[in-house]
Amino acid sequence: MASATTGPSTSGVPRKTPGEVCVQELDSVTIKLHPTFKDPVRVRQEPPFEFQSRGWGTFDIVVLLKWKNGSIHRTSWELQFDQPDASRPLDLPRAAPAAPAVPAAPAAPAAPVPPRTVPEGTMAPSVEVPPVAPWEEEHRDVFEARGSIVGVDSADEAMVEAAEEEATDGPGPPPELLRDTSAGTTDDDPTRASICERLRSTAYLPHSHPQFMFGRGYGGPLNAPKVLWRSDQPPRKDHSCPKWLTATEFEDQPEVMAAKVKELARLMLMSRKTVAYTGAGISAAVIGQAALSGQHTVGWKADTRAAPPTFTHHALGFLGRQGLLHGWVQQNHDGLPQKAGFPQERINEIHGSWYDPGNPVVKYSGTLHERSYPWMREDADTADLCLVLGTSLGGLNADQVATKTADRSLQPSAPPEGVLAPGAWVMLRRGGRSFKGCVTKVEEKDFQARFRPAADDDSEEEDDRLGEVVTISKSEKFDLLPSVGGGLGTVIMNLQQTAQDGKMTLRLFGKSDEILRLLLPELGFGLSIVKPPVWPKVSRALVPYDAEGRRLPPRAKRMWLDLSRGQEVRLTPGHNIQGAKQPQYMHIGAAKPITVKGETRKPGVGLGRVVNRCDKTCSFVLQIEGVQMRLGIWWLESAMRGGVPVLPLVNQAPSFEE
């Protein structure tokens, strides 16, 4: 990537020098960038008519100079990033071009306006479409590119404050339906088979390997990334890392990034289950971060609850609704994926959430939610492709989502269930210990497998490393396990290196916002469709859940979930408040009074009320046992669809449809 400045010094907009046109005679300057830019048409109406932006690629930039007398001068030049100075002067007439003559004509009778056809039962909108200026009509190719991704950039976007509507007696409009998740391609697909064979035959890469900064599955140009910011410090002071690993930030060359993005799009379209694994980096621009970086200051922003999603959140949210992103394991607590429209039922907020009163942020001394850990392990064991964004992979338990998916890319495809064949997984017990292994070869009387110790306690992290090949007699007792072998591996995209980069199928260096802007068109989507969701404006709705918040079977009588101001609510069973160990909440579910900062609070079961609906933070503000909590508005949308299996709260005395 390189930055380009459009203005008197670089774009050819006329300079005020003797014998040339004065800048003050210009009315405006219109610049058309590549359509992948946020709002590719930019207009400057004040001297010095300067414009700056950052983006990928080499392309022609069109500039329209509009003079105050109405005349237009059109020019263009090729933006280049491989030259010391990509600017050039622009020769213009020494006087402003004469305004186009408009011949006088007698007034003509107004042409009849044909009636618009409107679907039966609807009302035609009363919005008047403003007339198109003649000069905009003449340069339609420029102005029709307007507004590609307005309102979804982390630097510009703000959440819209909506007025609360009164609850109605009806269930409200049905939420937008989600697409079924993509089934991907089968093992006999030639392209998939070729990629999997390459991954199986390419071992993990050491740091010194020439392919290390590109990925085991990458087949494009090997031009080294450029250094954006150099550091001799580790990425984080609270995580250990190899000596070679620093916080230095890199960016792929444009031709390398283009090749990597094409290969990533191909992987996503083939994947049978794609899981995102994300950390603080994708929210750093609006929330803050703890890791050392050249892009953002270490620390936290003000008013984090009102933070808007970044483009990365919006893009991944859109891919989730389209069924191309099957799951998301989220280290952050900020709710930004859901604010961007990612379905609540497909995101595992492994370390807790600001917007789920049943799963508050978990302290380092706490334990994960009883549903979060098995869900994370399932994704780690079954993902076909993992996308890693914004995390240093510094050794957290949840990093296994990335590392196990990478491990499977070294293994053969799984055989049919119950068949002892290469790629099958078996459980063998010897000496009171359990060993889980992957079968590599099957003979008439025995088979060979590579084993790793299986933890006895499911809360402990397994050792993912497979040992040497061991020969096992078929007469020995063993269990065949459900198997998911082979796979497309793990792809990581961020600015800094990680200790796990050598395992990656693809390794992309760059900002995730910019990488995803390139990825969406490769997947066949325009950037204009990435936009914030519209949440239900009602706060009361019929939902297919019982009085304990459990999802009901089809055709059962639905429950009213009323989150209007003042309504009494209670937390449902199975919450993780005691496990999270947040001091201000520890009296909820406690057996005896709890003293926090000199204040003693009586134990409570989790009763409270709705204080209000806050559209600025996309949440319902709650008062639960005397302390404030929040519930994301998206929980109501998901409940209306019957998306999540269990609701975090219900009304204290819920009513049901007749």
Is residue 276 very low, low, confident or very high in pLDDT (cuts 50, 70, 90)? very high
Q: Is 574 left (phi over 0), alpha (psi -120 to 50) or beta?
A: left
Is residue 429 very low, low, confident or very high in pLDDT (cuts 50, 70, 90)? confident
pTM assigned to the model: 0.69
pLDDT in tens, 205-231: 999 999 999 999 999 999 999 999 999
pLDDT at 413: 83
| Nearest alpha carbon to residue 324 among 257, 267, 393 | 267
pLDDT in tens, 548-569: 999 999 999 999 999 999 999 9
* Lowest-pLDDT choice from 2-6, 196-200, 218-222, 620-624: 2-6
Phi and psi dihedrals of 142, rounded to 5?
-80, -50
Is residue 536 very low, low, confident or very high in pLDDT (cuts 50, 70, 90)? confident
505-544 burial, b for 16+ CB within 10 Å, e for fewer? bbbbbbbbbbbbbbbbebbebebeebbbbebbbbbbbbbb
Q: Name 234's Cβ contacts closer than 8 Å, sequence gap at least 6.
A: 241, 245, 246, 247, 292
Instruction: Identify the burial level of 156 via C-beta atoms within 10 angstroms of its C-beta, where 0-12 means exposed, 13-18 middle and 19 or more buried.
Output: exposed
| Dihedral sign of CA atoms 330, 334, 340, 342 in order | positive
Q: Nearest 5°: CA angle at 322, between 320 and 323? A: 65
pLDDT in tens, 282-340: 999 899 854 445 554 545 567 899 999 999 999 999 999 999 999 999 999 999 999 99
Token pair listed for 566: 């003042």
Residue 378, classed as helix, strand or coil, is: helix
Q: Name 353's Cβ contacts closer than 8 Å, sequence gap at least 6.
A: 333, 335, 359, 360, 361, 632
pLDDT at 608: 98
Token pair listed for 325: 């992103």
Which of 15-29, 73-87, 140-154, 250-264: highest mean pLDDT?
250-264
DSSP-assigned beta bridge partners for residue 41: 32
Strand-strand pairing, 72-79 and 59-67: antiparallel
How far apart are alpha carbons 286 and 306 in whole angstroms?
9
Token pair listed for 240: 């250990």
How far apart are alpha carbons 461 and 70 in whole angstroms?
71
pLDDT at 34: 61
How far apart are alpha carbons 564 and 543 in whole angstroms?
15
Token pair listed for 551: 């999802």
Token pair listed for 130: 């403003």
pLDDT at 539: 96
Helix ranges, 90-158 (H): 134-138, 140-143
How far apart are alpha carbons 575 and 568 in whole angstroms?
18
H or E element: which one contains 247? none
H or E element: which one contains 446? strand 446-453
* Lowest-pLDDT choice from 128-132, 197-201, 646-650: 128-132
Token pair listed for 512: 């995730």
Task: From residue 10, give the alpha-carbon distance in Å to each of 32, 84, 94.
Answer: 15, 12, 20
Given a contact cutoff of 8 angstroms between Cβ atoms, the answer to whether 316 and 327 are in contact is: no
Strand-strand pairing, 478-481 and 425-430: antiparallel
How far apart are alpha carbons 397 and 390 in whole angstroms?
16
Strands annotated E in 174-248: 226-229
Instruction: Please provide the distance, in angstroms rounded to a whole number, between the alpha carbons at the two ends of the chain.
Output: 61
Q: Name the residue type at position 115.
A: P
